[in-house]
Structure 1
Amino acid sequence: MNIFSLLNEKTVLPDLKAKNKAEILDRMISSLEDMVSDNELKEIREAVFERERIMSTGVGKGLAIPHGKASGITQTYAAFAILNEPVDYEAIDSEPVNMVFLLVGPQASNNLHIKMLSRISRLMNNSEFRERLRSCSTAKEIIEAFKKEEHVSLNS
């Protein structure tokens, strides 16, 4: 499964305006509403916020990777946002976050979930790639950047 294939123009938010972590998560989870039922969306919201209560998913370098597993969904969903202004996210490096990658999957698919989190982390750890993403102004450009970067990383 490719990361870029989980994203679409409704789930990529190239200029997200948010005041705090809760607003970021709410907006990103809401971007999935056309793909899941109201009940599934509620379960996703509960799973992501519960995971965030356990420990912040602000991984440093201006990036957060909120994630969760919900028993009511049968496939993996993702959303990506570039914030128009950095937001305090209680990241491990205490720096504000300006990019957020949301990943949610079925409760039963632990291996895939961990593999996808690892792949997102590896891609997003590349500072040149993060800069390319910041230079994108549309959802389409961001998805294309992920597609190219994944292709390069899989072939190197």
Structure 2
Amino acid sequence: MKIVDLLSPAAIVPNLQATNKKAALEELADAIVGVEKDLDRQEVIGVLQERERLGSTGIGEGVAIPHGKLKDIDKLLISFGRSDSGVEFDSMDGKPARLFFLLLAPEESVGVHLKTLARISKLLKNSAVRRRLLDAPNGEEIYRVIGEEEEKL
């Protein structure tokens, strides 16, 4: 399953305004709720905050992959956000996160959820990909970069 097959261009926030983790999760949740109208915003935010209490999803190198599971969805859902100034996210390396992939999975999913997390991690492990995403001028270009770079995986 490709990231671009799960990510709607409308769920890309090229200029996150958040200055803290809570606000970043809310903005990313708003992006996905804006596309998936049946989602309950508070439920999405609650699931993400609960996952963060278990341990930060800030994986380092300016990347965070907040994720959680919801019982009322039947497919994986993704939103993407980019912060120019960075957001303190309790990342493993102590650096602010600037690139965010939010992933929501059906409660019963295991394999495809983990494979998608691994695919996102692999994509963002490449510093040239991170740089292209940071330099992209808008959401459409971010989507295009993700698609191009994913083809190389």
Tell me if both proteins adopt one fold, taking TM over 0.5 as the criterion.
yes
Shift of 1:56: 0.5
Q: TM-score, normalised by structure 1?
A: 0.92
Equivalent residues in 2 for 1:71-90 (5 A)? 71-90=71-90
Q: Secondary structure at the match of 1:144?
A: helix
Aligned to 2:149: 149
Aligned to 2:38: 37
Distance 1:65 1:38 in 2: 19
Aligned to 1:125: 125
Matched length: 152
CA offsets 1:91-148 (integer angstroms, 9 cap, x no match): 0111111111101110111111000000000000000000111110111101110111
Equivalent residues in 2 for 1:55-66 (5 A)? 55-66=55-66
1:107 aligns with 2:117: no
CA offsets 1:8-38 (integer angstroms, 9 cap, x no match): 2321111111110000000101111231414
Distance 1:38 1:76 in 2: 13
User: Larger deviation: 18-27 or 6-15?
Assistant: 6-15
Distance 2:37 2:148 in 1: 28
Provide closer, same or farther for how the CA distance between residues 65 and 129 of structure 1 changes in structure 2, counting only shifts above 3 A: same
Q: Which sections of structure 1, spanning at least 5 residues, go unmatched?
A: none
Q: Secondary structure at the match of 1:11?
A: strand
Distance 1:72 1:93 in 2: 34
CA RMSD of superposed structures (Å): 1.2
Does the CA-based 8 Å contact 1:123-1:129 persist in structure 2?
yes
Does the CA-based 8 Å contact 1:8-1:139 persist in structure 2?
no
Does the CA-based 8 Å contact 1:43-1:72 persist in structure 2?
no
Aligned to 2:52: 52
Aligned to 1:21: 21
Q: Secondary structure at the match of 2:42?
A: helix
User: Larger deviation: 117-126 or 43-52?
Assistant: 43-52
Aligned to 1:140: 140
- Which consecutive aligned stretches of 4+ in structure 1 deviate over 6 angstroms post-superposition? none
Shift of 1:45: 2.1
Distance 2:46 2:16 in 1: 21
Shift of 1:42: 3.4
